[in-house]
Structure 1
Amino acid sequence: MKTLLLRVVPAALVSLFLFGCNSKSPSTDITREILLRTSQSWDGTRYISYPDAAPELTVLKLVIPANTQLPWHSHPIPNVGYILSGELLVEDQNSGQTRRIKQGEAVAEMVNITHRGVTGDKPVELVVFYAGSKGIPLTE
């Protein structure tokens, strides 16, 4: 009986959370938009594989001041940035290739490729989602 309660109570709580406590039809007000689905970074480089370890997700909110050049850096793991406000120019150090990302757009970051972001006359606010493993740095 105790085992049954341990299964039923959490399921009931999740249902109440997801669907609310009223009789209103669930999900009628939910909209869904895929912002990005890709297996390659913004420059076309394909992602190869994940580390052989348990996943660890990290989400950062960053605010980059206007007229700022971030230092050249790379990421050892896949990540995606979503621009909340402003515009960010991303540059590949080796090829010189660039791409401008604007408010409401998502960008698949480069993995193991040196790059940087540059802001214009307005600050940039973005959220970055990293898919890595414990002990692996987000940026190098």
Structure 2
Amino acid sequence: MKTFPLKTLLAALTTFALLGCNTIPQPTEIKREILLQSSKSWDNTPYIRYPDAAPELTVLKLTIPANSKLPWHTHPIPNAAYILSGELIVEDRNSGQTRRIKPGEALAEMVNITHRGVTGDEPVELVVFYAGSEGIPLAE
């Protein structure tokens, strides 16, 4: 078995270091895109205030079947939805106003206003972010 002299080994390691063989990967540039920033819901109703309790965040991933009409409901806390796939039409029960959201779009949800979601011929997959407090339901 042949051994390398220490000088040869040190020279090889120095050469590798100088050539960048031990380079540490640099962080990649972070791409930042604001999907939604709003102080009011999609129907222009302003958010008034948060509950007077410790904050609790909830993030849900929902899949709604095709050709569905969700029950009429309200949210007592601010929340926002991001559509991953499919299209969702949100309807305001009182005014009849609607809003269609498509994949890649975000929606500021209504608070204390009765509404529902309606899907088309494809299922809808979405992520919903709720900013509430412990013990407060996400929907009623």
- Normalising by structure 2, report the TM-score: 0.82
Equivalent position of 1:109 in the other structure? 109
% identity of equivalent residues: 79
Structure 1 unaligned regions, length at least 5: 1-21
1:85 aligned partner: 85
Question: Deviation above 6 Å: which 4+ runs of structure 1?
Answer: none
Aligned residue type for 2:91: E
Runs of 5+ in structure 2 lacking a partner?
1-22
Shift of residue 29, structure 1, vs aligned partner: 3.1
Between the two proteins, the alignment pairs up a number of residues equal to 118
Per-residue deviation, 1:84: 0.2
Partner of 1:33: 33
What is aligned with 2:25? 24
Counterpart-to-counterpart distance in 1, 2:53 and 2:122: 39
What residue identity is the alignment partner of 2:92? D
Bigger radius of gyration, 1 or 2?
A: 2
Report 1:1-140 matches (<5 A): 23-26=24-27, 28-140=28-140
Query: Secondary structure of 1:136's partner?
Result: coil
- The CA deviation at 1:47 is 0.1
Amino acid at match of 1:45: T
Q: Deviations over 1:15-40 (max 9, x none)?
A: xxxxxxx73333x3321100000000
Q: TM-score, normalised by structure 1?
A: 0.82
